[in-house]
Structure 1
């Protein structure tokens, strides 16, 4: 292979890496035209701005991306929880100016650490309440509401030197399978897909969005291949006039890695029309992660591209077209940087407007945290939500999927016996029978107890008073606590200025 072909392949690759310092292999590849890097939680530390500077010295045109949505999904504040509203909260408030301002504030925080691509907003219309991976990451279940807030979020994000990347095309909202672990299939008819699930993406394209991320989902009506590898699906975007960057969802997710593999997946995604290949988070393999997993995954993707060019299944022209789009985005962002302006923002007010339900005047809260386990994409069960809600009060974690009824009842009894108002913290009250049963047994022990729900709003009645939060975040938990605690015990709202640090 010629050096210029390797450099061309580098120009469409977007790897993650291990640690809080740039490994030498990564810096070498950046000097040789690597498109940029993706930051994940394990990369975030006090030295993040300096790390970004080092990456940009190696390649001044590097795209530095981060999965930062606010609400449930944060990398910059993964240690303590997001201090930005989540999409569902913004959808509940339904104030497009608030959403636009939230997008601008999110972009400001990302730019402050040297990033320039935000993987958001989520444009999925969450029509399946069982959805394990979207849920409150979506603005809602109505396509018109989702579309207007996606458009506002894109405008807010791109008012600064940051690119927005709407996801997950052509829509991940009607699934009940997590593509991190398997290959979901959407069996809806074409008419419903186009009317409901494509509308927010059309709105994003109309708003001038810089990038669109694909979904690893199969739509049988459009063929047997997942959207990321399907030229018919990706061709829809070009048919709408979108000439921005099509970014793949992570190629190390099981939907690709365990079907065609990272290398073949990379080549086939490019052949289908993708431009920038997100390789993924090298820690996703858990205990199976090797010390050089980041470089292994990167080389697997690049070797797959080079082999495909060599055997003719991927044309050099298509590879050059993709690399050219990625390069143009970098140039666009360098110009936009000169016109970015600061914004005034108060996310805590938006979150308070989104939360509904009862208020109390308790002196303390005794929290039973019964939320589902976290997924690879969403740290929904992170301890910071329960910690913020309980503060110095009693707190216990109960995994209803893995504990016995006796163990759960013991946790309930201890909470009822503790000082303060008993609170059952849930995130799937309609679709998780274990959570609902725990709430019902809590009501028998303490009819004055309260349920705090950080997932999709409950549609089925519960036997206890309810606070609907709409996000598993620190700022949401604090606002819920403020509704339940007396005025003298209230904490100050978390400061937006804390974003960007590993606190």
Structure 2
């Protein structure tokens, strides 16, 4: 009997796969796969019905009934990245805000609350905290998702967040090893490279992962990042890098970042990437997001994505490229994680955390100059490009919060929209009365960026304008007074709206 037709081997392969799926209910194929030994599933925003508070918990129960110990993951970082609150934006502070406040007790409390919410939804694995040190200010995908730009700061908050999440009885998964913070390419769209030598990587990017290990993190997610000091394969497929992770004392489960991301899909294919990841030492293979919000634009479906990866592994077993022993190794690690989350269900559910999310956000916001807008009519020009796939939210909480009090107009000028900055601004301002104050909403303002150029044009055309920056600030100030918000969560948007419409400065 070939491996691909052996029920025991097929169950072994299913046990290391972690697909996404479409809809608010479990599709039949997913239930069949769970019955055949599938490790579990990953929730995305499209799996959450915001109009039905109990929907996700009900879905989780159905999956747990299909297979006890099932691993149900959710990409819930708080701040900019939320699946549970994707419809309206997160009510938790984000990592950059927590890093600016720099109170590890608060970060731990936020972790407890995050874990409590995930557990209430029936999920068992939190794809957080972000352990990346954001050393490159042009980073298009990490940015405010990181606690900061130094390994010491990030490390202490990664440890605190890990402890908080796991005290709620759910597993934390630190990401994205060995660090996605020095990249200028988003791995959802391309293959990033980190041109650092081993000594620099060790000093600047690996300490937060060590802190997570020492905090007892149950899982660590790989990055699809090439580090030439370790060879030309991205970390997810790189035996040297994953071996280095094990040598650091990590005995938990190595989870791949989504295999449908362009960094893997374009160069290798999701199926081939899965085979190489297993050979490199990865354990649990995250297949990815099949929704229209994902990088494939909804051109394939959930079952096709699953079959592509499963069948590639079975074929590699048949032709001898992959050994059964390699899959068994990964399966044992996944089984250990399953046992961990099963034990977590007996941990007492923590009370709702008592930290003040609004106070954290207000404490993190920075205002470059006094903002004097009280009593003036306002128009917000949203100059941002579309959100990164990592955020993948159906909400735009900033403009939702601001539009409750002021007029908002979307006039994105980012590179993905390929629009002439001066022409866009001239057209937008022609429709705004000259006595109105203009608020530019931006999130990418490093030197040379289209949004920075747009703010410069705005400053010349409409003196008295201001900017609200939802991303990381640049070292060089913008041409107008600026409110640096360090995030795009709902709670952040509300705090910024109060500053803008109240004309307050600090």
**Secondary structure of 1:395 counterpart:** strand
Q: Please say if residues 45 and 393 of structure 2, whose CA atoms lie closer than 8 Å, have aligned partners that are also in contact.
A: no
User: Is residue 2:382 matched to residue 1:374?
Assistant: no
Q: Give the one of 319, 329, 344 matched to 2:337.
A: 329
Q: Please say if residues 218 and 253 of structure 2, whose CA atoms lie closer than 8 Å, have aligned partners that are also in contact.
A: yes
Q: Distance in 2 between matches of 1:446 and 1:197?
A: 42
User: Is residue 2:164 matched to residue 1:160?
Assistant: no
Deviation at 1:407, TM superposition (A): 3.1
- What corresponds to 2:23 in structure 1? 19
**Secondary structure of 1:339 counterpart:** coil
Q: Give the one of 355, 358, 375 matched to 1:345.
A: 355
User: Is residue 2:445 matched to residue 1:429?
Assistant: yes
Alpha carbons of structure 1 residues 416 and 475: separation in structure 2 relative to 1, 3 Å: farther
Q: Distance in 2 between matches of 1:153 and 1:353?
A: 19
Structure 1 segment 99-118 matched on structure 2, within 5 A? 99-118=107-126
Q: Please say if residues 360 and 485 of structure 1, whose CA atoms lie closer than 8 Å, have aligned partners that are also in contact.
A: no
- What corresponds to 1:407 in structure 2? 424
Q: Please say if residues 454 and 472 of structure 1, whose CA atoms lie closer than 8 Å, have aligned partners that are also in contact.
A: yes
User: 4+ residue runs of structure 1 moved beyond 6 angstroms?
Assistant: none
Deviation at 1:359, TM superposition (A): 4.7
- What corresponds to 1:499 in structure 2? none
Q: Distance in 2 between matches of 1:360 and 1:60?
A: 58
Q: Please say if residues 93 and 354 of structure 1, whose CA atoms lie closer than 8 Å, have aligned partners that are also in contact.
A: yes
Bigger mean CA deviation after superposition, 396-405 or 170-179: 396-405
- What corresponds to 1:227 in structure 2? 235
**Secondary structure of 1:411 counterpart:** helix
**Secondary structure of 2:424 counterpart:** helix
Q: Please say if residues 368 and 415 of structure 1, whose CA atoms lie closer than 8 Å, have aligned partners that are also in contact.
A: no
The Cα RMSD (Å) is: 1.9
**Secondary structure of 1:108 counterpart:** helix
Q: Distance in 2 between matches of 1:261 and 1:28?
A: 25
- What corresponds to 1:442 in structure 2? 458
Bigger mean CA deviation after superposition, 70-79 or 113-122: 70-79
Could you report, residue by residue, the CA deviation over 1:37-72 in whole angstroms, capped at 9, with x for unpaired residues?
A: 001111111221111111111112111101111111
Could you report, residue by residue, the CA deviation over 1:389-448 in whole angstroms, capped at 9, with x for unpaired residues?
A: 2324211111114434233223234445475x4211111122453212221222234332
Structure 1 segment 18-417 matched on structure 2, within 5 A? 18-45=22-49, 46=52, 47-283=55-291, 284-287=294-297, 289-290=299-300, 293-340=301-348, 341-342=350-351, 343-357=353-367, 358-360=370-372, 362-363=374-375, 365-379=378-392, 383-401=396-414, 402-404=418-420, 405-415=422-432, 417=434
Q: Please say if residues 259 and 265 of structure 2, whose CA atoms lie closer than 8 Å, have aligned partners that are also in contact.
A: yes
Give the number of equivalent residue pairs: 485
Q: Please say if residues 237 and 280 of structure 2, whose CA atoms lie closer than 8 Å, have aligned partners that are also in contact.
A: yes
User: Is residue 2:488 matched to residue 1:472?
Assistant: yes
Q: Please say if residues 373 and 500 of structure 2, whose CA atoms lie closer than 8 Å, have aligned partners that are also in contact.
A: yes
Alpha carbons of structure 1 residues 51 and 378: separation in structure 2 relative to 1, 3 Å: same
Q: TM-score, normalised by structure 1?
A: 0.92
Alpha carbons of structure 1 residues 324 and 452: separation in structure 2 relative to 1, 3 Å: same
Q: Please say if residues 237 and 273 of structure 2, whose CA atoms lie closer than 8 Å, have aligned partners that are also in contact.
A: yes
Q: Please say if residues 366 and 418 of structure 1, whose CA atoms lie closer than 8 Å, have aligned partners that are also in contact.
A: no
Q: Distance in 2 between matches of 1:75 and 1:336?
A: 21
Q: Gaps (5+ residues) in structure 2?
A: none
